[in-house]
Chains A and B, each alone.
Chain A
Amino acid sequence: EAEVAQSPRYKITEKSQAVAFWCDPISGHATLYWYRQILGQGPELLVQFQDESVVDDSQLPKDRFSAERLKGVDSTLKIQPAELGDSAMYLCASSLDRDSYGYTFGSGTRLTVV
C-alpha cells in the first residue's frame, strides 16, 4: 500500500536554531498538506499545495516558517528560528485532488524545541 513518507521521525533542536522537515507524497497526488498537531489538540493546517503552487498558507507563521514544493512532488517545511512553542507533531498528507478529501497522512515528525 502506498504511503506518505516523512523524515526525520523525531527531531530535537535548540531554540533559535533552524530545522527542516521533508515529505514525499504518494506518487501522482497533486495536493499536499502540512498540518501541525500540538499535544492534546487536533491538527491545524499550515500550508496546502496544489502541484507546486501554494493555495492556502493563511495559518503559516511566515516570519519564521517557509514551505516549498519545487517540482510539485516532494516538499520541505522549514522553521528558522525555532521557538519553544513550535514543539509539536508535523504531519504531511497528500490526496489526488482537493475535491475528494481523500487524504493519506504520513506518520509525522515529532519536533521538540529545548
Chain B
Amino acid sequence: GDSVTQMEGPVTLSEEAFLTINCTYTATGYPSLFWYVQYPGEGLQLLLKATKADDKGSNKGFEATYRKETTSFHLEKGSVQVSDSAVYFCALGSGSGNTGKLIFGQGTTLQVKP
C-alpha cells in the first residue's frame, strides 16, 4: 500500500543553518504531496504542497520539489530560526483517486538553538 518514509529525528541545528528533511514515498498513481508542521500542543498546519511532478511548493521560506523519478519530496530551508522548532510531517494524498485520505510519515522533530 501507499506509504511515506521520513528521516529520523531529532534534527538539531543552530539558528541560520540550512535545513533538509528527507521524505520518500511509495504510491500507486500520482499522489499529491504535502508537508505539515505541528507546534507543541497544537494541531497540524499545512506548510506547503505539490500536486504533480516537478512542482515546487513553497511557504515561509520552506521549499520542497516533487521528484517523481526519485519518489521524493525533501523539505528545505536556507536559514532556520528558533521559531521553526516543531515536528514536521510529510504526507501523501491517496493516489488512487482523490479520496481525501492523507497518509503521513512518522514525523521529524526539528530543534533550532540560538
User: Which residue numbers of A lie inside 8 Å of B, CB to CB?
Assistant: 4, 31, 33, 40-45, 48, 55-56, 91, 93, 95, 97-101, 103, 105-108
Contact = CB atoms under 8 A, between A and B. Distances in A.
Contact of A107 (B43, B46, B102, B105): B43
B41 A40 contact: no
Interface of chain A: mostly helix, strand, loop or mixed: loop
Interface residues of B, number: 23
Given A101-B32, A105-B43, A106-B43, A40 B107 contact: yes
Contacts of A31: 100
Contacts, number: 60
Contacts of B66: none
A101 B42 CA distance: 20
A44 B93 CA distance: 13
Given A98-B99, A101-B32, A42 B104 contact: yes
B100 A105 contact: no
Nearest to B43: A105
Contacts of B101: 33, 45, 48, 56
B101 to A, nearest CB: 5
B34 interface: yes
B20 interface: no
B102 A101 contact: yes
A55 B99 contact: yes
Nearest to B101: A45
A46 to B, nearest CB: 11
Nearest to B32: A101
B43 A33 contact: no
